[in-house]
Amino acid sequence: MSPQEKMELIKTFQEKLSDTAKKVFENAAFAMIDMPEEEQECAEASCETRICVMIEFEGHFRGRLAMSASGALAPVLAANMLGVDEDDPDAGKKGTDAIMEILNMVCGNLLPEVAGADVEFRMTAPEVISPDQYRIFESEADDPYSFSEDISVESSPVSFVLTIKSDRDRELM
The Cα–Cα gap between 99 and 101 comes to: 5
pTM for the model stands at 0.85
The Cα–Cα gap between 77 and 63 comes to: 26
- Walk along the chain (173 residues) and give the pLDDT tens digit of each residue: 567 776 777 788 889 999 999 999 999 888 888 866 544 454 443 444 899 999 999 998 899 999 999 998 998 999 889 888 877 878 778 999 999 999 999 999 999 998 889 999 999 999 999 999 999 998 887 677 788 899 999 989 999 999 987 554 444 44
Long-range Cβ pairs for the range 111-116 (8 Å, 24+): 111/57, 111/59, 113/16, 113/19, 113/20, 114/12, 114/13, 114/16, 115/59, 115/60, 115/61, 116/60
The Cα–Cα gap between 17 and 20 comes to: 5
Q: Which fold has domain 3-34+48-172?
A: Chemotaxis protein chec (3.40.1550)
**Count of other CB atoms within 10 angstroms of residue 4:** 8
